[in-house]
Homo-oligomer: A and B are copies of this chain.
Amino acid sequence: MTRTEPADTPLGDDFHLYDTTLRDGAQREGISYSVTDKLAVARLLDELGVGFIEGGWPGAMPKDTEFFARAARGELSLKHAALVAFGSTRKAGTTAAEDVQVRGLLDSLAPVVTLVAKSDRRHIERALRVDVDEACAMVRDTVSFLVGEGRRVFLDAEHFFDGYAFDPDTALRVLRAGGEAGADVVVLCDTNGGQLPLQLAETVREVAERTGLRLGIHCQDDTSCAVGNTIAAVQAGATHAQCTANGYGERAGNADLFAVTGNLVAKLGMEVLPTGGAAELTRVSHAIAEIANIAPDTHQAYVGTSAFAHKAGLHASAIKVDPLLYNHIDPASVGNDMRVLVTEMAGRASLELKGRELGVDLASQPDALTSAVRKVKSLEAQGWSFEAADASLELLLRREVDGPQRDVLDEPPFVLESYRVVLDHRAGGEVSSEATVKVHVSGHRVIATAEGNGPVHALDAALREALTPHLSWLDTVELADYKVRILPGHPGTDAVTRVLVETSDGRSEWTTVGVHENIVEASWLALCDALVHKSLRTAVMDR
């Protein structure tokens, strides 16, 4: 792996889409990647087509050392990206060649190295405890040593914007030390994330003029402006943008790679990805969220499941005529979909549109549409809500229309006879949940019992226990998220419980809904829909 430039992107080395999900992004609270996770994330980023993948800090973090070792052994074969090792300039009072941490960067065999250096005089003096001369020498020595060893080097100027505001001369001296020693890009880092777009653009423009160096940008999201700041910096002359997948990062996070890329491609017309790359944005975003074990942000720009969801029944008929009047881009261009949310405000037009989106043709079957509208309205009056439960809505619609999948719906994969859940708080204080289900599946009557953390978990476990021997596809299916909402009753009626279940088979997620006055029954209804929906998909693929 000796690539030091992005491959196959129209802009080539002229623009660097630089990803640091695996290093700076891993600072996010709650994220802890295994080495295998890191390799999987790197492969996804390469499929998207970013130019640089920063894999970690070899030498400093054992997992990162192993990541680079396995990558070098051939476990990571990158088609588009160059692999980058992150590290620090040498310590004070030694040489770069003798510095163990710097040697670790060489030993990683990464062809590109990004070095972090302090550029705020207060940090140099108070945290590093050296003077500016020594700080510049540390930069110069380390950069020229690594360049001499055949590495391409970028320099991250930490706390640059705060440092430049406090003492511009020091900040510029650090940049120049890096540039003169052979760093190809000096990256202006808003480490504390306090910048706003207009001033930041002004600073980038000024620094470009004063130094003539190739500039990069690295933004944190503490003002909720990381994406806007990154784009503003590019417009002001930066040609290297550091981002993280889904904006993962310390505190409020980093600039979201997917929003930055979407903006560069769709708004500024910059071809920063290989052909077809943009259409992978949504898939790669969700797959990385899965590996990071963080629920995808449904409202994330460009790639969120709600990013192109329209609630207003008001506009539904206009949207049908001309969707681009109501979307800022074509959702398909980033691999996403437009969704119409079915709510109380919904009428015929939006349900028909929704059907089209779900692959159910209601336009040609007006009676089915009438009946579906009536059912949705009646269920919504009872507390059901389909706006976040596409899979349940799809089942409802398919039950209304004639079509090739009727047989699956008419003969569901399993039929419940009964269940019983027992919850005990024993005299000793121990709490337990146990569920027994009796179901008919593939011609058998099966009884199974399982325990769980709570009633729904026990019921889900018992159902799997009963069905897995008979339904092979159930193996990959798991409950990904579970939400509960108690809905106040209308006068004269009791409160009901609405449960949303998100299910995953590792490749996609779908959401189902159940409503009942009893929370366990509501959960049961949603669980059943989730499995019927999966069996429908499986049946279609088998054909």
Could you say which residues of chain B place their CB within 8 Å of the CB of A298?
29
Could you say which residues of chain B place their CB within 8 Å of the CB of A509?
none
The answer to the question of A540 belonging to the interface, with a C-beta cut-off of 8 Å to chain B, is: no
Q: Give Cα A247–Cα B297 distance, bound, in whole angstroms.
A: 13
Q: Which of B232, B309, B341, B520 contacts A198 (CB 8 A)?
A: B232
The interface-forming segment of A100-108, A167-175, A353-361, A416-424 is A416-424
Q: Give Cα A222–Cα B516 distance, bound, in whole angstroms.
A: 33
The answer to the question of A13 belonging to the interface, with a C-beta cut-off of 8 Å to chain B, is: no
Q: Which of B228, B250, B488 contacts A224 (CB 8 A)?
A: B228
In contact, B229 and A518 (Cβ under 8 angstroms): no
Whole-angstrom distance between the Cβ of A349 and the nearest chain B Cβ: 13
The answer to the question of A210 belonging to the interface, with a C-beta cut-off of 8 Å to chain B, is: no
Could you say which residues of chain B place their CB within 8 Å of the CB of A223?
227-228, 231, 259, 262-263, 267, 301, 328
In contact, B193 and A328 (Cβ under 8 angstroms): yes
In contact, A455 and B387 (Cβ under 8 angstroms): no
Could you say which residues of chain B place their CB within 8 Å of the CB of A456?
519
The interface-forming segment of A1-9, A38-46, A391-399, A425-433 is A425-433
Could you say which residues of chain B place their CB within 8 Å of the CB of A424?
418-420
Interface residues in A281-332 (C-beta closer than 8 Å to B):
293, 295, 298-302, 304, 306-312, 315, 318, 321-322, 325-329
Interface-central residue, A27, A159, A315, by most chain B CB under 10 Å: A27
The answer to the question of A482 belonging to the interface, with a C-beta cut-off of 8 Å to chain B, is: yes
Q: Give Cα A120–Cα B262 distance, bound, in whole angstroms.
A: 24
Identify the A interface with B (CB < 8 A): 27-30, 32, 34, 120, 122-123, 126-127, 159, 192-194, 196-198, 201, 221-225, 227-229, 231-232, 235, 247, 250-253, 256, 259, 262-263, 267-268, 293, 295, 298-302, 304, 306-312, 315, 318, 321-322, 325-329, 340-341, 385, 387-388, 416-427, 431, 433, 438, 453-456, 481-486, 488, 490-491, 494-495, 497, 516-521, 524
A-B contact pairs, 12 of them (CB 8 A): A28-B299, A29-B306, A29-B341, A127-B315, A192-B327, A194-B329, A224-B302, A420-B425, A422-B423, A425-B524, A431-B518, A431-B521
- Could you list 13 further interchain pairs (A-B, Cβ under 8 angstroms) beyond the known A221-B301, A223-B263? A28-B311, A30-B387, A32-B491, A196-B267, A197-B225, A223-B259, A223-B267, A225-B225, A250-B310, A251-B310, A253-B299, A421-B423, A484-B486
